[in-house]
Structure 1
Amino acid sequence: MRSNPSSLKREGSGSRSVSPPKRSKATSTLPADEGRTEFSRGLLQNKGRLWKPQEDAAPPRPTSYDKSNVAVNNRIRGSSGAQPRPPRQPARPQEDTSTELIKQPETRPISQEQLVAEVKGIYAGLVMVENKCIEVDTAQNTQADTAQNTQADPANTKLNNDQWQALIALHRTLLHEHHDFFLASQHPSASPALRRLASKYAMPARMWRHGIHSFLELLRHRLPASLEHMLTFIYLAYSMMALLYETVPAFEDTWIECLGDLGRYRMAIEDDNIRDREVWTAVSRGWYSKASDKAPTTGRLYHHLAILARPNALQQLFYYNKSLCVAIPFVSARESIMTLFEPVMSPNSSQQSRLPPTEHAFVKTHGAMFSKEMSTKLDASMDEFINTLDNYVGRATRRFLEPGHYIGISNCCAITGYGSDSNPVYSAIKQTRTGEKQDQPMSGSGIDEAASKDLALALKLANRTHDVILRRFGDPNILPYVHTVLVFMYHSTFYPEAMAHLAPEFPWKLMSLMLNTLLSSCQSYSLIESEGFPHPEKDNSPRPLPEDYAMRGLLWADKYYPSGWFSNDKIEDDDKGLEAASMGEERKIRVLYLGCRIARDGQFLRYDSKTHQFSVSPQFDIELEPAPVAPAESIDFGDLPDALPAENPRL
């Protein structure tokens, strides 16, 4: 299993390399001579028949030919001393001119005994090569470590070109042995027991660990001297993984992730050519996205995507948070995420100049909450984020659609303690959702004091963000944020112990006013009032919203989407984040639908199906305070355009 969280190490895979792949004996269904002699007797004649010796005496059938070619051929024969063959006479008409069909060449099916013997033979050779690779890689790593500890001359540990070529050839042989093993064990004629051998002996993991990863790490630690050899081996291994992806679909998920890892290695060693680096970043991201589509609850894949999201700190924060808040969290991300927070929280942060001030303050606030090392500066960074948020949303207009759902999801992850089991909200929503509410909320006496304090800070950040964004009535660009927040709140209503912490400070009044604003332009009340998920009308193939892909796999979104909602494989990975013209109306219906679901029992929100209006329950029907005004010195008026955008209703 991979444990190193660095951008070059594979966490949690196991095993997997190329030259032209050898053909497995198991795939040969013809005897050694039969496959050749059929075609070694002569060329195919017209009408699809093979040439036969007894037909030499028979007149040939008429055929069209280029006389110039005949002349050329005669000249060639004459120049070589051979006598030119006289042209044949036209063939006499034949009564039967029907076309003869060639029978399919005879094949001999391979027996189970032959397959078993083939697999055993391949495995025996594979183990020998595997042990040799382990021995060589371990010796090289030990030699390098010894030289580093004793401060010996690095030149003594360098390998020459022939030695590198020998190591590449050794690992290439191991990859070929694995390729043969997979082809034989996954042969169409193989029995179920034979097919299970690859999983039983963890062959994909061993292939990656001993055939590729250990050697790549050896090459990486010898950079820059090993650069050319590392490039050669990466292309070799990538070709083998691509071949296995096409020919051994039983382990497709593993091959996809391996291709993503190899793309990341290739990206990481590209320093000079920025274009190549971007190309391989996109290649690696594409494979990881494909893998996450197949396994949306695997946090390790989102951790990889977080590394590839550099230098977009807000997107990195989202992916790191998601890797910790899915059903199969990637715990090592708690260490990796600090590579994002440490530069941002540094007093002389270089990232501050590359990030918008609002995003920088937001990431810094989460870093302070996550690390618990800068509690004294938490309030300052939170105030900076809140004071600049409204101005940031107004200037961004449609560009806030994507950051909006990143901010909403990240705040929800902070409320769950970034997937901490000690967090009361997270421990509540981890339970299996049955659709029935529990009778009594969890007592606060059993809550860890530190977890309770962290939860209070996260709720403070989330509710202050709600207060700013929900006041932008009529602004369609904030709806992705509202959508993600309502999905989290709707799921939490099934757990009274979670709502005991979430409901008291949530701005229900502002939410009801926002929903009523959306209701004024609603054209289909039946969609928002029905119990079923509001499918778009006249749309046979589902087209998820960009934030749907972002929420997919999170614990609080597991029951929100209907079965098959993400089954449209015609949507390219690059198109998943695109905002179509029809999505604004669909998102509005979703938000209203979630509002109706939360208002189903009237405990927090209420909905009148006759007047089509939302209201709040009496305990939350409070007088709204005016929106807080940011200090003048905290707003950069120099960045404001001459004409304020029309999309900003508050301005």
Structure 2
Amino acid sequence: MDPGGGQTDEGNDVSPYKRRKSPVSSIKGRPRSASPLRRSRARVPSSTANDPDFRRAPQLGKLWSPDEAASSSSPRPRPQQPSRPSRNISQPKSRPDAVEDESESTRLIKQPETRPISQEQLIAEVKGIYAGLVMVESKCIEVDNAQSTQNETQLNNEQWQALIALHRTLLHEHHDFFLASQHPSASQALRRLASKYAMPARMWRHGIHSFLELLRHRLPHSLEHMLTFIYLAYSMMALLYETVPAFEDTWIECLGDLGRYRMAIEDDDIRDREVWTSVSRHWYSKASDKAPTTGRLYHHLAILARPNPLQQLYYYAKSLCVPIPFSSARESIMTLFDPILDPNSAQHARLIVIDVAFVKVHAILFSNKFPDEFLPTLKKFCSMLDNQIGRTTRKWMESGYYIAISNCCALLSYGQEDNVILKAIRPQHSEETAESSPDYDKVMSEYKPSRTEEGSVNLFEGTCDVVLRRLGDLNTLPFLHVVLVFIFHLTHFPTAMLFIERRFPWKLVSLQLNSLLLSYREHHRIHDEQFPRHDREFPPRPLPEDFAMKGLVWVDKYFPVDWFSNDKIDDDEKYFEVPSMTDDRKERILWLACRIAKLGKWLTYDETLRQFGVVPAYEKEIDNVAKDSDMMNVSESAESVSRSSTFDSVTTMGNTASEKDDEDMIDVDEALGYKPIIRQ
């Protein structure tokens, strides 16, 4: 018999411990066992039959309730479950040799001894790497030049792979050179070698850019090889970005360039193109944060801003109006202007009419083409602007500071050296020099502005006249903020201010400021000379237009040194408007106005009445606008109109207007008698 109770078959090769399945017929024919069912030993036999809790007499017409059952029977202790005997399980005894092996495996090992490399060894290593690098670099230059002159010759896959391997070798040589020359033990002279011999620029020019241009001119046959090399170069640049931080700014810009190449050759999948556009924009934005005065980076961002003409114009104009302008942008900007100036271009059908009109005004000013169309186009833009602000509501906040910055750049003739304002605000023209100069009125009376300068003043004046008439509209505050920053900077340079002061709508500005004072309470903050900011214990949070103005030539006297030091703000958050920014923006505008009013030449401010005004020279009647004594009521009505027309805008008091308020509101444009100022 086997241990399981079955019989074994000694003649078969069946294990004695393996059960064998009985035939089905034998199971069916076998009589059922008469033995009683067995209960598991783990269970305690139940005595429910004798338990009075489970016995109750049937009651007719009444349901059983547990309360009655509890009152009829006393609780009885439950029988305890017998404890199971514990089993003694003997643990295996450890062997002495096993203990010894375990101690050997857990023994701490000291850090391996490293021998410091000497300066002589490091110099010899760098020299050897550089010698090999120069040889590979010369070969790459020779091959790229030879292939660039043979554009019609098609290369096969083996030839392309050989070229990729050659340039990959050059990239690896550069990587070894950077690691050796920037070694922690390297001397300062050795560390300066990379900058002295322009190694980052040589790596990009001969190792990446020239070969990418060769591949680009052979498209579409070279598409797969170009993709392969872009990914190779991108991974190498990302590695250098992590391991060689001394040239971090260069690596960031190179990563942006590679992302732009990858974006440009993507025609099949629009989502991949958008992804690489976002990647490239991320690196360029990061680079511009580190070098905000470099115009080349804004030129690259302008290319990535397509098809947004307003944003493109802003970036192109900014690239020309920073301390380090990018002169090549004067050619690139025509790729935006030429289709706009062409009346038969398909761009007009795809873009918003008011955006086309605004960009066309700047195109005429910049290129001096079609000068006869300037005034009609400007009138068209100004006539549509007020309706556009009311229709787009909060979305116009971003458009507002784009328009304001572009108009200010136009006043500087887009960075032209002979511009009267730009010459006045150059660093060599200090405040002392400006104040000690002779008769400015005589100088300006003899100065004859160019057509671009005169047209830019008309554009600046006409736009301000439309926007500033919307009293209490919080969506126009970014525009007003940028304009006041520009004016505040010009107040330090009387020559520059004389060119624009008589054309600026000071009276409308004072009305706007008084409307903001209605809901402002901390007046001591705007009276202080210090830049208004929150507790210094918290990192600064710049406004979206602060990031947009960062790096321009007219903001160096405005922002504190550490204003953009908060590196925890992501790129997507920089231009994101939150409700708390409204009060900060109001405070900044009022603070700027107080600084301008303190000079006593244009604006005035009464600290007792807490009200702004203008000097007598700029005091004038604005059609159908209430007097200063009634201005508070006009501002309140205008603010109510703004709240009702912009359902998602941030209101002054944080409340929305009710239906009853909508019935009692007045039309601000009708009350102010809106007439855009366009000078012939």
Normalized against structure 1, the TM-score is what?
Answer: 0.80
Task: Tell me what 2:119 maps to.
Answer: 112
Task: Tell me what 1:271 maps to.
Answer: 267
Task: Tell me what 2:330 maps to.
Answer: 334
Distance 1:219 1:363 in 2: 35
| Displacement of 1:438 | 1.4
- 8 A Cα contact 2:394 2:646, kept in partner: no
Letter in 1 for 2:220: P
Report Cα offsets for 1:120-164 as digits up to 9, x if no partner: 0000000000000000000011122xxxxxxxxx4xx00000000
Gaps of 5+ in 2: 1-91, 626-643, 650-665, 670-680
Task: Tell me what 1:493 maps to.
Answer: 491
Match of residue 290, structure 1, among 266, 286, 290: 286
Task: Tell me what 2:435 maps to.
Answer: 438
Match of residue 533, structure 1, among 531, 534, 558: 531
Task: Tell me what 1:402 maps to.
Answer: 398
Normalized against structure 2, the TM-score is what?
Answer: 0.76
Match of residue 89, structure 1, among 79, 89, 95: 95
- 8 A Cα contact 1:473 1:649, kept in partner: no
| Displacement of 1:92 | 8.5
Distance 2:645 2:572 in 1: 31
Match of residue 372, structure 1, among 368, 373, 388: 368
1:650 and 2:643 equivalent? no
Where does 1:123-162 land on structure 2 (aligned, <5 Å)?
123-144=130-151, 154=152, 157-162=153-158
> Does the C-alpha gap of structure 1 residues 219 and 619 become closer, same or farther in structure 2, counting only changes over 3 Å?
same
Letter in 1 for 2:206: H
| Displacement of 1:537 | 5.1
> Does the C-alpha gap of structure 1 residues 527 and 190 become closer, same or farther in structure 2, counting only changes over 3 Å?
same
Higher RCO structure (Cα 8 Å, ≥6 apart): 1
Letter in 2 for 1:164: W
1:551 and 2:549 equivalent? yes
Gaps of 5+ in 1: 1-66, 68-86, 145-153, 628-642
Q: Give the RMSD, CA atoms, in angstroms.
A: 2.3
- 8 A Cα contact 1:474 1:518, kept in partner: yes
Distance 2:581 2:107 in 1: 60
Distance 1:331 1:625 in 2: 44
SS in 2 for 1:311: coil
Letter in 2 for 1:89: R
Task: Give me the identity figure in percent.
Answer: 63
1:574 and 2:572 equivalent? yes
Distance 2:366 2:414 in 1: 8
Letter in 2 for 1:184: A
1:322 and 2:318 equivalent? yes
- 8 A Cα contact 1:297 1:326, kept in partner: yes
Task: Tell me what 1:598 maps to.
Answer: 596
- 8 A Cα contact 1:606 1:615, kept in partner: yes
> Does the C-alpha gap of structure 1 residues 128 and 448 become closer, same or farther in structure 2, counting only changes over 3 Å?
farther
- 8 A Cα contact 1:112 1:191, kept in partner: yes
SS in 1 for 2:605: strand
1:481 and 2:499 equivalent? no
Match of residue 506, structure 2, among 505, 508, 516: 508
Task: Tell me what 1:17 maps to.
Answer: none
| Displacement of 1:102 | 1.6
| Displacement of 1:539 | 6.6
Report Cα offsets for 1:565-622 as digits up to 9, x if no partner: 1011110001111001100000000100110011112100011111111110110011
Distance 1:93 1:229 in 2: 59
> Does the C-alpha gap of structure 1 residues 645 and 180 become closer, same or farther in structure 2, counting only changes over 3 Å?
closer
| Displacement of 1:426 | 1.2
> Does the C-alpha gap of structure 1 residues 93 and 116 become closer, same or farther in structure 2, counting only changes over 3 Å?
closer
Match of residue 581, structure 2, among 580, 583, 586: 583
| Displacement of 1:644 | 5.2
Distance 1:521 1:194 in 2: 62
Report Cα offsets for 1:342-365 as digits up to 9, x if no partner: 111111232222222211110111
Report Cα offsets for 1:410-462 as digits up to 9, x if no partner: 0000001111111101111123575555134375479775x533211101111
SS in 2 for 1:135: helix
Letter in 2 for 1:273: D
Letter in 2 for 1:226: S
Task: Tell me what 1:611 maps to.
Answer: 609
Task: Tell me what 2:73 maps to.
Answer: none
- 8 A Cα contact 2:444 2:499, kept in partner: no
Letter in 2 for 1:604: W
Letter in 2 for 1:342: D
Distance 1:120 1:93 in 2: 54
Where does 1:4-403 land on structure 2 (aligned, <5 Å)?
89=95, 91=97, 100-144=107-151, 154=152, 157-403=153-399
